[in-house]
Amino acid sequence: MSKAEHEKHDGDQEMAKSPETVMSLVKGLNVIKAFNQQRPKMSLSQVASITGYSRAATRRFLLTLVSEGYAKQEDKLFSLTAKILELGYCYLSAVDIWQHAQPLMADLVSQIDESCSAAVLDGFDVVYVARVATTKRIMSVGLDVGTRLPAFATSMGRVLMAGLDEVELGKFIANCPKEQFTHFTLLNEKELFAEILQVKNYGYSLVEQELELGLTSISVPIHNRAGKLSAALSISIHSAQLSKTEILKTILPALKANAARIGELK
């Protein structure tokens, strides 16, 4: 399944969820999600192709976004405006835990000099809700609050997947879109299922070069005071810097301690 087909499939799945679903709202959101770093500007035809909606419907959604200030049109190309950030910040302001978590994450970054991120599970992706970066650049794409990455191939995703029961986990793995990002990417469903069970037992996930060559990440769960899994906390490292043994010895304990401190905020 191509990326565009996957995005359209996601939209169709959302619309099939409930008879009370407001179809036009879901479609409008899918039009917004059609834009990303690789597609910052698109024609009406491109948006219609990605979403699977008719040109007439797509035009109405795009022009509505323009009239409300969430998008702009230049000649035949549409793009989102900064006002779209208000939608994301509505979540962040309502869940101000992440504002309070930033200083704790900054302490960890100053201690180990590696970037730290927090994410939650949304569909088949992890979505970054907090991030403190160093000046090091170890990924080809920029990472920031709101960035989405495939859960199955990331350490944060696997930590969050480990919070599912085995039936839910099996369905998740069977249905999630899988892409061979590198030759290390684990795609076999049985092996992936076994890997997640190990994550559940170990209490952490370490993923080496499965999402991008040269990138290693280690993540731990963040549990709230009631013991419920609420997010994942991660440190990303260039694979040539530290061995797996060194990561587990030096970074994992600090990461766990920081996750526990953040969990106390919730």
Domain ranges (residues) in the chain: 3-82, 95-263
Task: Compute the C-alpha angle 242/230/20, nearest 5°.
Answer: 135
What tokens does 225 get? 């005071």
Task: Read off the pLDDT of residues 233-259 as tens digits, 9 standing for 90 and up.
Answer: 999 998 888 889 999 999 999 999 999
The pLDDT value recorded for residue 253 is 95
**Which among 241, 244, 257, 125 has a CA at the least distance from the CA of 178?**
125
Q: Which pTM does this prediction carry? A: 0.68
Beta bridge partners of 110: none
Give 197-250 as a DSSP string: HHHHHHT-EEEESSSSTTEEEEEEEEE-TTS-EEEEEEEEEETTT--HHHIIII
In CATH, the number for domain 95-263 is 3.30.450.40
Residue 98 has what pLDDT? 74
d(CA 159, CA 232): 7
Which pLDDT score is estimated for 9? Answer: 43
pLDDT of residue 92: 58
The pLDDT value given to residue 18: 58
Residue 93: per-residue pLDDT: 54
pLDDT score for 15: 42
Q: What is the pLDDT of residue 227?
A: 86
What is the pLDDT at residue 142?
61
Chain centroid, CA 200 distance in Å? 20
Instruction: Tell me the C-alpha distance between 96 and 17, whole Å.
Output: 29
167, β-bridge pairs = none
The upper half-sphere exposure of residue 206, i.e. CA atoms within 13 Å in the direction of its Cβ, equals 15
What pLDDT does residue 224 have?
Answer: 84
Q: Please give the pLDDT value at position 141.
A: 56
pLDDT recorded at residue 36? 86
- Give Cα separations from 28 to 76, 121, 125, 233 (angstroms): 19, 22, 20, 31
Check if the beta carbon of residue 72 is closer than 8 Å to that of residue 66. Answer: yes
Q: What pLDDT was estimated at residue 72?
A: 94
Domains 3-82 and 95-263 fall in the same CATH topology: no
Alpha-carbon span 30 to 34, nearest angstrom: 6
If one looks up domain 3-82 in CATH, what number appears?
1.10.10.10
Q: What is the pLDDT of residue 177?
A: 93
Q: Alpha-carbon Rg of the chain, whole angstroms?
A: 19
Q: What is the mean pLDDT of each run of 10 residues along the chain (266 residues)?
A: 44 52 86 89 95 94 93 93 76 64 88 90 90 69 78 96 95 95 96 96 95 94 88 91 90 94 81
